[in-house]
């Protein structure tokens, strides 16, 4: 049986599973949703590229494993087009995420 987090065609994970575990553990330990600052702290603490962390989190939101909530409380789904537009310059940078200043958490 294939893991649901795998791309059926390539048998490859849809996101970085180690980073997914790291951010999920951070959210569980904090016992509340994460914000961009939390991901930046993880990036600094573990010398991981911030954009790699956010790429993983965005992919998990796109595949309904995590939820992004706007500051006003509205849940927002990240579409594939939005995801691709954020990567226009190659790697994600802080300015690509400036409008995503809400909170992030695993699906209950």
pLDDT in tens, 19-60: 999 999 999 999 999 999 999 999 999 999 999 999 999 999
Q: Where are the alpha helices (DSSP H) in the chain?
A: 17-30, 36-46, 50-62, 80-86
Residue 59 and residue 23 in contact, taking contact as beta carbons nearer than 8 Å: no
Q: Model-level pTM?
A: 0.85
DSSP 8-state symbol, 96: G
Residue 5 has a pLDDT of 64
Residue 99 has a pLDDT of 86
Residue 11 has a pLDDT of 72
List the domain boundaries for the chain: 34-106
| pLDDT of residue 93 exceeding 80 | no
Kindly state the tokens that stand for 10.
């390539």
Rg for the chain (alpha carbons), in Å?
A: 13
């Amino acid at each position: 049986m294939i893991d649901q987090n795998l791309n059926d065609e390539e048998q490859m994970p849809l996101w970085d599973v180690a980073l997914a575990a790291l951010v999920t553990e951070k959210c569980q330990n904090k016992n509340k949703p994460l914000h961009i600052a939390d991901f930046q702290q993880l990036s600094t603490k573990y010398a991981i590229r911030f954009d790699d962390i956010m790429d993983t989190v965005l992919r998990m939101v796109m595949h309904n494993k995590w939820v992004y909530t706007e500051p006003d409380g509205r849940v927002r789904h990240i579409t594939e087009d939005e995801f691709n537009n954020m990567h226009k310059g190659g790697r994600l940078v802080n300015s690509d995420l400036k409008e995503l200043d809400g909170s992030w958490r695993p699906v209950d």
